[in-house]
Structure 1
Amino acid sequence: MTTFRTATAVALALLAAPAMVSAQEVTSLLDNASDTTASPALSSQGTRQRGFVFSLRGGIGMAPEYLGSDEYSVVPDLGFRFHSLRLSDGLDFGDSDAWNDFRGFDVHGSFDYIGERDSSEYDGLRGMDDIDAAVELGIGVGYTAENYRTYADVRRGFGGHEGWVGEAGFDFITRPTSDWRLSMGPRLYWGNDEVADTYFGVSASEATSDRPAYDADGGLLGAGAEFVARYQINRDWGLEGGVTYRSLLNDAADSPIVDDGAQDQWSVRFGVIRVIRLNF
């Protein structure tokens, strides 16, 4: 794309010039043309070309069968990341370079997915109500600097639960080479009473001699850490993997459905990143 813009700029400059030009004038035209590669693209009306840049991630991962389980299963790894929106009137949001971190304060969307829980598939849950899959949608704020990022998100559930959850984190960031980006930091997880009781509570009708009735209250339900490594293959493609550890806390950890040893929850993921650039 850069070569095409440069060649076009040189051709237009030469056509517009007088028929006889000196070598010094040609050199000046070439220098000016090369400078245009760093300037914003212009439409036929002389305004900045509009564009939208985002990336998609797809792959596989491994996570607990359900919240509080000590059994693991293979799950899909899906992700979306907004990078920039450029409007024709000169308004810019984000950074059009998908491999750069946007620096400063930001407001972003927040999404999470919790799979369904079928009690008939697990001996420890037999007799309990099934829970549908839940989608959590929300918003967050963050701040990114050269070597760290911090954020706080809030989401509402739809489907399996309709409660509110919160998540906060802090990451240390390092870039060993221009292609690698590594980040690691602590995480905190909150949920209100509905979230806690949905996934960790035991109603009177679900209680057994080995699983007493339990009313789980909301609050800080987990704390842990996350490590993410990203590798840029080229301008459009990359790889990303991550490991997340969460220790269930308070009413979540005390739930009768949390088996011995299941208080420690691990998940891993690996996916391929594709950057998509749309001009309109």
Structure 2
Amino acid sequence: MFDLRIGFSAFTIALAGLAHPALAQDRALAFSLTGGAGIAPSYFGADDYRVSPAGRLGFTGLRFGSVQLGDPDGPARFVEGTRIRGAFRYIPKRKGSDELAGLDDVDAALELGLGVHHSAEWWEIYGDLRYGVIGHKAVAGEIGANLIYRGAEGLTVFAGPRADFGNARFARTYFGVTDSEVAALPPGSNLEAYRPSGGFHSVGLEIGGYYPLSADWGVSGTVRYDRLRGDAAASPIVKQGSRNQISAEIGLTRHFNLRF
């Protein structure tokens, strides 16, 4: 399983090198943190929306002596070439009363992981893999691609397709209905138990932009459309909501370039 502890272990090694002058010849770590707010469906398959905090962690590069990942000396965003980056997602708690009376609540989840990202001058592709360290304890991820427009004063606009996936445990957590839940439904309910399989559960399109405010700060925003598919679309939870999922985020980004 991938999680951010893998990426942070390299950071820990670099810090440990401060106590060893022989290792302190050429070290650098570059990353970014984005914090802001987003609006998204209340749960997977919902037809109503909620506003919640949003954030991202980006890993630009690490150099530790002769070992280098990414480009710690390059520009803060859209570095050309292949690099590893951090990935995380927070999924708010889902109350059973939000869907069908009698369904169990689903606890909030925090997914941590890593991704591989490759950028060129006018396009990029990426893949992220995350694990629910809090909450669902399942594997989820995303693959995507962008066309990129680079304008004056550092403005960057991008757009491209997205596809989200999860293993069977993830699908059962958010799209499944258990026998015990069916038994707890009010008399007369026609809802049947549903046990979905893992795989790609949505495909969509995202459009976004980034504008630097200074060398270390910038503002970003995205608008995204997803359509649930496969076993997720066939879920009774989604059928009483919507397969069409629209979300948006806006945030402030701080870039860090640490030298040791």
TM range (shorter): 0.7 to 0.9
Aligned to 1:264: 244
Q: In 1, distance between residues paired with 2:152 and 2:259? A: 30
Aligned to 1:240: 220
Q: Does 1:55 align with 2:42?
A: no
Match of 2:151 among 169, 176, 182: 176
Q: Is the 8 A contact 2:57 2:85 kept in 1?
A: no
Match of 1:102 among 76, 79, 101: 79
Aligned to 1:147: 122
Q: Does 1:138 align with 2:118?
A: no
Q: In 1, distance between residues paired with 2:95 and 2:35? A: 26
Q: In 2, distance between residues paired with 1:102 and 1:252? A: 35
Local SS of the residue matching 1:125: coil
The percentage of aligned residue pairs carrying the same residue is 40
Q: Is the 8 A contact 1:53 1:98 kept in 2?
A: no
Q: How does 1:200-239 map to 2 (within 5 A)?
A: 200-207=175-182, 208=185, 209-239=189-219
Deviates more, 1:234-243 or 1:102-111: 102-111
Query: 1:221 offset after TM fit, Å?
Result: 0.8
Aligned to 2:103: 128
Q: In 1, distance between residues paired with 2:152 and 2:63? A: 29
Q: Is the 8 A contact 2:72 2:257 kept in 1?
A: no
Query: 1:259 offset after TM fit, Å?
Result: 4.4
Cα gap change, 1:52 to 1:105, in 2 (>3 Å): closer
Local SS of the residue matching 1:267: strand
Aligned to 1:34: none
Query: 1:96 offset after TM fit, Å?
Result: 2.6
Q: In 2, distance between residues paired with 1:198 and 1:70? A: 19
Q: Does 1:72 align with 2:49?
A: yes
- Counterpart of 1:75, as a letter, is S
Q: Is the 8 A contact 2:58 2:86 kept in 1?
A: no
Return the TM-score normalized by structure 1: 0.76
Query: 1:73 offset after TM fit, Å?
Result: 0.7
- Counterpart of 2:174, as a letter, is Y
Q: Does 1:192 align with 2:162?
A: no
Return the TM-score normalized by structure 2: 0.81
Q: Is the 8 A contact 2:36 2:252 kept in 1?
A: yes
Local SS of the residue matching 2:163: strand
Deviates more, 1:246-255 or 1:159-168: 159-168
Q: Is the 8 A contact 1:95 1:102 kept in 2?
A: no
- Please give the per-residue CA displacement for 1:66-92, whole angstroms capped at 9, x wherever unaligned: 1111111111121221223344x3654
Query: Which ranges of structure 1 fall in alignment gaps of 5 or more residues?
Result: 1-44
Q: In 2, distance between residues paired with 1:154 and 1:81? A: 14
Local SS of the residue matching 1:178: helix
- Counterpart of 1:272, as a letter, is L
Match of 2:138 among 163, 172, 176: 163
Cα gap change, 1:118 to 1:260, in 2 (>3 Å): closer
- Counterpart of 1:172, as a letter, is L
Q: In 2, distance between residues paired with 1:246 and 1:113? A: 17
Aligned to 2:19: none
Q: In 2, distance between residues paired with 1:132 and 1:275? A: 32
Query: 1:149 offset after TM fit, Å?
Result: 0.6
Q: Is the 8 A contact 2:206 2:225 kept in 1?
A: yes
User: Larger strand proportion, structure 1 or 2?
Assistant: 2
* CA RMSD, 1 decimal: 2.3
Aligned to 1:7: none
Q: In 2, distance between residues paired with 1:217 and 1:54? A: 36
Query: 1:210 offset after TM fit, Å?
Result: 4.6
Q: Does 1:250 align with 2:225?
A: no
